[in-house]
Chain A
Amino acid sequence: MKTTDKFGRPLVAVTGMGVVTSLGQGKKDNWEALTSGRSGIHAITRFPVDHLATKISGMVDFLEESDKGASRLTYALADLAASEALAESGLPATNFAGPLFLAAPPVEIDWHHRLSLYARSDKGGDWRSLIEAARKLRDSELFDETQFATIADRLADKYGTRGLPITLSTACASGATAIQLGTEAIRRGECDRALAIGADGSATAEALIRFSLLSALTTQNDPPEKASKPFSKDRSGFVLAEGSGALVLESLESALARGADVLGIMRGCGEKADDFHRTRSKPDGSPAIAAVRAALDDAGMSTDEIEYINAHGTSTQENEKMEHLSLSTVFGERISAIPISSNKSMIGHTLSAAGAIEAVFSFMTMREGVIPPTINYEVPDPAIELDVVPNIKRAADVAAVLSNSFGFGGQNACLVMAREAG
C-alpha cells in the first residue's frame, strides 16, 4: 500500500480515538446517543443559576472531578479520552513516545479558591492580602491551577509522550489545530506518531457569564434538549458545553508496520485567519472560504470527493449564515446535495474540545456508515438551503468528510478526513 500522499508526504493515519461529552464517556455510549438523536443538554446544577439568563448547558456532570474546578475537570476529560484512544491504538499505555498536542482552555484561579484564599488572608481590602496569603499558604495545587503548562505536563507524565508538550488555543478551533499540529509534525518526519487531544471542562459560572455578556448563548432554557438548533431559522445562540476528544495520529507506514487497525486517514488541514473583527467574521466569508479551500488543497482533493460535512454549526445566527455562505461559495450548487450535520445540536459547543470531538465523530460516521442528525431542526431557515440530515440519522456510504471549526479571534481551521488512504 502507498504510504505517502500525492505530494510525497507521509500519509497520517488515525489508529485510536477517545471521546467524552455530556452524552457519556467513551465512543460507544456517545455514538448510540448521537445516532439516536439524543441531546446531552440539561439544566445547570453545578452552581446556582440565580441572576443568569442561561440556565442550561452541556456540562459533563458525571465525573468525580466535575465539581472540582476547570483545571481538574479539563485534565480528567483529557485523560479519559486519551486513555480510550491509546487502548484502541494498541500502543503502550505509559510509553507513547511521540509528541503531545493539547487543545485546552486558558487557565485561571477558580473563584472558589480565590475566595477561600481571601478568607484566610488579613482581608486588607486590596490585592496585597491575596498575594501575602498565597505566599504563606504555598498550596502547590493552587499554583498548578494557574500554570498553563500543568495539564499537558501531567498527561505527558502519565502517557510517556516525548519532548515538550504543546498546549494551544485557537479558541473554538483549538481541537482542530491540535490535530493539525500533530499531522504537520508527522509530515515533517519529526515523529512516527502524535497524540492530539482537545479537552474543555471550563464551563464555570464566570465563563457562562462572559459568553452571555457577548450575547453568544441561547436563553431558551426550557426544554434544555431543544435549545441547540443549528441551521434552524429560530436558532438563538450556542449552548456552552464540555467534553474531550483524543486521536492517536500515526504515519500510515508505522501503523501498517505494527499491524495496527487504521481507523481513517487525516488527509488535509487548512487554516486562514480573519482580520475583520474580534468576534464577527468578514462579511464576504473570505477567510472561512480560504480555510476550506486550504484544507482541500492540502488533502489534494476536489470538492467532488467530499461526501459529508461535519459542520461547525454552533446554533448562532452569525455562524450558520457565514458557514452556509462559505460552503456554498466553495462547493457551488453541489452544496445542497451534500449532507451536512451539526453534532453541536446534541452535545452543545465544547469550545476547545469541539474540533477534536467532531473529528472523532467524523471518522465514526465513515466507519459506521451512519450520519448523525442535526436535531431540533423544526423551523428551516429559508436563507440556508442545506441538507442538514434533519432530526433522524441516515445510513450513508461516506468516504471523505470535511469538518469545520471557527473561533473568536478570527480563527478558522478545517480538516479533511478519509476512510481510506486513497
Chain B
Amino acid sequence: MNPNDVVITGIGIVSSLGLGVEEHWNALADPKPVLDGERFAPYVVHPLPEIDWSTQIPKRGDQRQMETWQRLGTYTAGLALADAGMKEDEALCASMDMVVAAGGGERDIDVDQGILDASLTRNDHDVLLNEKLTTELRPTLFLAQLSNLLAGNISIVHKVTGSSRTFMGEEGAGVSAVETAAARIRSGQSSHLLVGAAFQTEHPDMLLAYELAGFLQRGDWSSVWARHEQDGGGVITGSGAAFLVLESREHAQKRGREAYAAIGPVVSGRASREDAALETGLRTMVETLGDAPTLALSGASGAHSVTALERRLLEERDNLAVRGFSSLTGHLKEAQFPFAVALAAMAIHKQAAYPAFDPDREKSTDAAPSTILATAIGYNCFEGMGLVVKA
C-alpha cells in the first residue's frame, strides 16, 4: 500500500454489448456477440448500440461539431467521469490530466466518392481535387477528423482541462496511454487522470485501413480463437470505447471513493513480427509480470499468427484462464488495451471471473480473481500487457 498506487475509480465502456459497466457485466454473464453482417458485407462488424448522445453531450451544437468517433469518445469519457463521481465537479475536472489514444476521424464518404467517380472522366486529377475539395468539404469536418480533437471535445464538453495529450498508433497508443498515465500517478506528476480511447469501425475507411494488408475476416463471425486463413486475415472489428478515471490511492481516499481495482505493472514493447522476436518479447513480458494472474483479459485481434502465438503462450500456464474479449466486441484498435483493463477491473471489483467467451476454446474457472492480466498485442506492431489487482 502506497499513497501513489494507481487506483481505478471510474469506468466508462461502450461496445456492441451495451453502455457502461453494468450492461457489460450482465451481457458478459451470458456471452453472445451482437453483429451486423449486412451493411459492410462481406465484412461483419460489431456495431454501436443505440446511444442517446444528449445524456453525456447535452448541447446539440457540440454534437453537431463531431462525427460518431468523437461523439463516442466524448460520451464514454462522460460515463467514466460520472462513474467516478467527478462529473460536473469543476475543481476536480479543471485539475485533471488526460491522455487519449486516437486514430483519425471519419472522412466525408460522398465527397470522396464524387472525386473518385469524376477522376474516371478526366486526367487533371490534382486540379479536380482542388475544385471538389474547396467547394464540397464542410469547413468544420476537418476538426471532426483531427486526432487530438477527441481530447479537445472532452475538454469542451466535460471541462477536463488539467492537461491534454493524444497518443496515436493503433493498439500501441492505447498501451502507452495507460502506461504513461499510471507512471505519472506513481511518480506524483498527476493526482487524477482520465485515460482512454474510442474506435468507430462503421465507416469504409476504417475497414480499408485494415484491408490494405488483408487483415480482415470475410464472411461469417467466429470466435477470435477460431479464425481461418481461407476466410481472410482474421480480424473482425467493432465500434467501442473505454475510458478510465485513474487516481492516486491517496487522492481517492481523501474524497472517500472506493476503487474498482488498482493498476499494477504495465510493460510494453515493439518486437518484430517477422521473426522469433515477438515470441521472446511476449515471454519476457509474461515472466516479468509473474505467476499471480489467474485470469487473462486478452485483447487478441484475431490476426492469425500473432493471435495463435499469444494463445499458445498464455495457455502454457495451467492456472490461467484466458478470455478473448474481441470475440464479443470486435477489435477496437486504440481502445483495445483500455478496454481490457476496464473488463479486468470490473472482475476484480465483482470478485468473479467471466464465463468462457468461447466455451470450446477457453477453460472455465470459478475462482474469484485477485490479479488479472490484460493484454493488447498489436495486429501489425507494438504490444503491451499489465496487471490489474485488488485495490
Binding site for B on A (CB under 8 A): 47-52, 104, 106-109, 111-112, 114-115, 118-119, 123, 125-128, 130-131, 134-135, 137-140, 142-143, 146-149, 152-153, 156, 163-171, 177, 181, 184, 187-190, 205-206, 209-214, 271-279, 287, 407-411
A50-B131 in contact (CB<8A): yes
A126-B156 in contact (CB<8A): no
Docked Cα-Cα span, A136 to B117, in Å, equals 20
B169-A167 in contact (CB<8A): yes
Binding site for A on B (CB under 8 A): 65, 98, 102-104, 107, 109, 112-113, 115-117, 119-120, 124-127, 129-131, 133-135, 137, 139-140, 142-143, 145-149, 151-153, 155-156, 159-170, 172-173, 175-176, 179-180, 183-184, 187, 189, 204-205, 207-209, 211-214, 216, 232, 268-270, 378, 380-384
Residue in B115, B129, B207, B268 whose CB lies within 8 Å of A131? B207
Check A51/B213 contact, CB under 8 A, given A134-B208, A164-B172, A164-B176: no
- A sample of 17 more A-B contacts (CB under 8 A), given A50-B127, A109-B208, A188-B183, is A48-B127, A51-B135, A106-B147, A107-B104, A135-B214, A139-B212, A147-B381, A149-B378, A164-B383, A168-B167, A171-B146, A205-B129, A209-B134, A276-B156, A409-B143, A409-B151, A410-B152
What are 20 pairs between A and B in contact, CB < 8 Å?
A48-B124, A48-B127, A50-B127, A52-B130, A108-B104, A109-B208, A118-B119, A127-B109, A143-B209, A149-B382, A164-B268, A164-B382, A167-B168, A169-B166, A170-B164, A209-B134, A211-B142, A214-B143, A271-B164, A410-B164
Docked Cα-Cα span, A139 to B213, in Å, equals 7
Check A164/B270 contact, CB under 8 A, given A149-B381, A205-B129, A209-B130: yes
Docked Cα-Cα span, A147 to B208, in Å, equals 11
Check A50/B164 contact, CB under 8 A, given A125-B117, A166-B176, A278-B143: no
A51-B134 in contact (CB<8A): yes
Give 9 nearest A-B pairs by CB, closest first: A409-B152, A127-B204, A149-B169, A143-B213, A143-B212, A213-B139, A148-B168, A210-B142, A273-B164
B residues in contact with A109, CB < 8 Å: 205, 208
Residue in A147, A169, A276 whose CB lies within 8 Å of B170? A147
Query: A166 to chain B: closest CB distance in Å?
Result: 5
Residue in B153, B162, B381 with the greatest tally of chain A CB atoms within 10 Å: B381
Kindly report which residue of chain B lies nearest to residue A211, judged by CB atoms. B142
Docked Cα-Cα span, A59 to B268, in Å, equals 36
B residues in contact with A156, CB < 8 Å: 270
A209-B133 in contact (CB<8A): yes
Kindly report which residue of chain A lies nearest to residue B187, judged by CB atoms. A188
B381-A153 in contact (CB<8A): yes
Residue in B109, B113, B167 whose CB lies within 8 Å of A167? B167
Residue in A114, A140, A212 whose CB lies within 8 Å of B112? A114
B residues in contact with A51, CB < 8 Å: 127, 130-131, 134-135
Query: A125 to chain B: closest CB distance in Å?
Result: 6
A residues in contact with B189, CB < 8 Å: 184, 187-188
A408-B98 in contact (CB<8A): no
A106-B130 in contact (CB<8A): no
B residues in contact with A153, CB < 8 Å: 270, 381-382
B residues in contact with A131, CB < 8 Å: 204, 207-208, 211
Query: A156 to chain B: closest CB distance in Å?
Result: 6
Query: A216 to chain B: closest CB distance in Å?
Result: 10
A residues in contact with B129, CB < 8 Å: 47, 111, 205-206
Residue in B169, B172, B175 with the greatest tally of chain A CB atoms within 10 Å: B169
B residues in contact with A168, CB < 8 Å: 165-168
B162-A273 in contact (CB<8A): yes
Query: B355 to chain A: closest CB distance in Å?
Result: 32
B residues in contact with A107, CB < 8 Å: 104
B125-A115 in contact (CB<8A): yes
Kindly report which residue of chain A lies nearest to residue B207, judged by CB atoms. A131
Query: B87 to chain A: closest CB distance in Å?
Result: 14
Docked Cα-Cα span, A385 to B217, in Å, equals 62
A409-B148 in contact (CB<8A): yes
Query: A309 to chain B: closest CB distance in Å?
Result: 21
Docked Cα-Cα span, A396 to B149, in Å, equals 39
Docked Cα-Cα span, A272 to B160, in Å, equals 10
Docked Cα-Cα span, A139 to B153, in Å, equals 35
A163-B146 in contact (CB<8A): no
Docked Cα-Cα span, A134 to B206, in Å, equals 13
B residues in contact with A148, CB < 8 Å: 103-104, 147, 168-170, 173
